Structure 1
Amino acid sequence: MNREKGRDGRRAPWLAGMAGLLLGGAATALAIGGDGAMAQSGQPDRAAIEAIVRDYILNHPEILPEAMERLQAREVSKRLEADRQALETPFPGAWAGAAKPDVTLVMFTDYSCGYCRASVADVDRLLAEDPRLRVVWRELPILGPQSEEAARAALAAAGQGRYLDFHRRIFAGGVPNEAKLARAGAAAGLDAAKLKAAGASPAIGREIETNIALATRLGLSGTPAFVIGNQLLTGAVGHDALKKAIAEARARS
């Protein structure tokens, strides 16, 4: 598919948005500075503005990636702010860290995801070194039935106050299955039968549906994904990138 047009031939939304930003800026500049590109009505001449913008872009194509990045960041920030409360309010027990945090890290995770597994140590390290941080986990089982079974078991463990221990043990065991979940539950001091029964509860089903809806609104296509302040980071970005985003969120708050 052409990068600038969709399947119906229209300009892609990002290009239209960026053009709007550039045209708006140019119109403001002309209205303030006044270089002759004005219609008789005293309003900026759109054709003249478009010509100026086009010439500038052709002569400075290096601005396009930066403009696109800023536009995307602005749109992501709007979506995050709209869902802030839903994102940062954990399923009971599915969180760790500060009871009254100044920054909350939200992690969308799937127990069949190798990149999520690789991120466990990064998140544990952040919790250990930052007493003002809270981590909220949002189960997003998108990699198959075994992912949903594990997610339900983890949320059931949260109801018994054993989420984080169980969460770590599931990831340590590799791609989950029924036997591995039973072993992880036993090691975490949980009864396998009670865990499975609790995992079938309507409340846990609603939580998973809520997380899928949140991920859809944020445009997520995989895990892990991290929400920190007004930033959305996708993939196993590593400890340093997460720590940087936490510091930036803290500085803004």
Structure 2
Amino acid sequence: MMIRDFMIRHRRIAATVGAGSAILIGIGAAMLAQRMRAPERPADKARIEMVVRDYILAHPEIIPQAIDKLRERQSKDAYAANKAALETPYESAWAGDRNGDVTLVMFTDYACGYCRSSLPDIDRLIADDPKLKVVWREIPILGPGSEIAAKAGLAAARQGAFRTFHERMFAAGRPDGAKVSMVLRSMKLDLAKVQRDIEGPEVTAELHRNMELAGRIDDALATPTFVVNGQMLKGAVGYDALKQAIADARKRV
């Protein structure tokens, strides 16, 4: 899925809200009919649908709640189906314990200020938790600068230097070609190989895989998004929330 396709899918979520009431009415009627344990007659069905409709109109807040619950369930199913692809890092785009008992995946973009503000939280988690594995997945959705920085980061990852690039690129500010070049030149890298990799099929394919993976996990996924053994946290949620998600994941193991 190309970047523009990802953003189109993001906007489609709004369309699901309009259908939420009809979906809930149908589900509610089916559930109530099952509880009655009697053959469903047209009059009974109409009465049940009216009761459910009236309840929803009186409590419209349950529609977004139900949709959120459905999307949460779908995300967990998607995580289970894509776990290996999600938690297997690209080259050196990971940190912590290679065989950690919990894996935290971070979808990130170098133009994302909330991603930048989350860096100290991730560093602290890695330092505090010797059994944690962190995997970064680049999804450059915020413009051309994001894309060139993401490609450079993956090229650096192919030389075992992802985390250094990751930290220096965020420190440099909003990405553009000049800043990416500056960061690359500040590192001990084979720059000719970096250039070949930036333009090469492996890095491009990895970015496409990341975008497709993000869409499968949650078609409204943005940056930063964290996935901790199936639990999804969106935004700069902070150290304590991430630490709690890790603790919750260990309880489920």
TM-score normalised over the length of structure 2: 0.82
RMSD: 2.7
Name the residue aligned to 1:19: 25
Higher deviation after alignment, 160-169 or 238-247: 238-247
Quickly say closer, same or farther: Cα 1:123–1:185, change in 2 above 3 A: same
Quickly say closer, same or farther: Cα 1:53–1:14, change in 2 above 3 A: closer
> Aligned-pair distance for 1:117?
0.9
Residue correspondence of structure 1 range 1-253 to structure 2 within 5 A: 6=15, 12-31=18-37, 38-39=39-40, 45-58=44-57, 60-61=59-60, 63-217=62-216, 218-220=218-220, 222-253=222-253
Secondary structure class of the residue paired with 2:107: strand
Q: Is the 8 A contact 1:95 1:134 kept in 2?
A: yes
Q: Is the 8 A contact 2:21 2:63 kept in 1?
A: no
- Give distance in 2, aligned partners of 1:232 and 1:209: 21
Segments of 5+ residues of structure 2 without an aligned counterpart are 1-13
Of Structure 1 and Structure 2, which has the larger fraction of its residues in helix?
2
Quickly say closer, same or farther: Cα 1:252–1:123, change in 2 above 3 A: same
Q: Is the 8 A contact 2:105 2:135 kept in 1?
A: yes
Q: Is the 8 A contact 2:112 2:142 kept in 1?
A: yes
**Which residue identity lines up with residue 147 of structure 2 in the other structure?**
E
Q: CA offsets, 1:149-169, max 9 Å, x none?
A: 111111111111111111111
- Residues paired across the two proteins, number: 239
Higher deviation after alignment, 157-166 or 232-241: 232-241
Q: Answer with 1 or 2: which has the greater Rg.
A: 1
Segments of 5+ residues of structure 1 without an aligned counterpart are none
- Give distance in 2, aligned partners of 1:76 and 1:125: 27
- Give distance in 1, aligned partners of 2:144 and 2:110: 11
Q: Is the 8 A contact 2:17 2:64 kept in 1?
A: no
Higher deviation after alignment, 134-143 or 13-22: 13-22
> Aligned-pair distance for 1:112?
1.4
Higher-RCO chain (CA-CA 8 Å, sequence separation at least 6): 2
Quickly say closer, same or farther: Cα 1:97–1:27, change in 2 above 3 A: farther
Secondary structure class of the residue paired with 1:83: helix
> Aligned-pair distance for 1:11?
7.7
TM-score normalised over the length of structure 1: 0.82
- Give distance in 1, aligned partners of 2:43 and 2:250: 41
Quickly say closer, same or farther: Cα 1:11–1:238, change in 2 above 3 A: closer
- Give distance in 2, aligned partners of 1:77 and 1:151: 27
- Give distance in 2, aligned partners of 1:221 and 1:74: 15
Q: Is the 8 A contact 1:17 1:71 kept in 2?
A: no
Quickly say closer, same or farther: Cα 1:60–1:144, change in 2 above 3 A: closer
> Aligned-pair distance for 1:207?
0.2
**Percent of matched pairs sharing the same residue:** 48
Secondary structure class of the residue paired with 2:136: strand
Quickly say closer, same or farther: Cα 1:16–1:103, change in 2 above 3 A: farther
> Aligned-pair distance for 1:199?
1.8
Q: Is the 8 A contact 1:107 1:138 kept in 2?
A: yes
Secondary structure class of the residue paired with 2:233: strand
Higher deviation after alignment, 172-181 or 197-206: 172-181
Q: Is the 8 A contact 1:90 1:136 kept in 2?
A: yes
Q: Is the 8 A contact 1:185 1:191 kept in 2?
A: no
Higher deviation after alignment, 60-69 or 181-190: 60-69
Secondary structure class of the residue paired with 1:206: helix
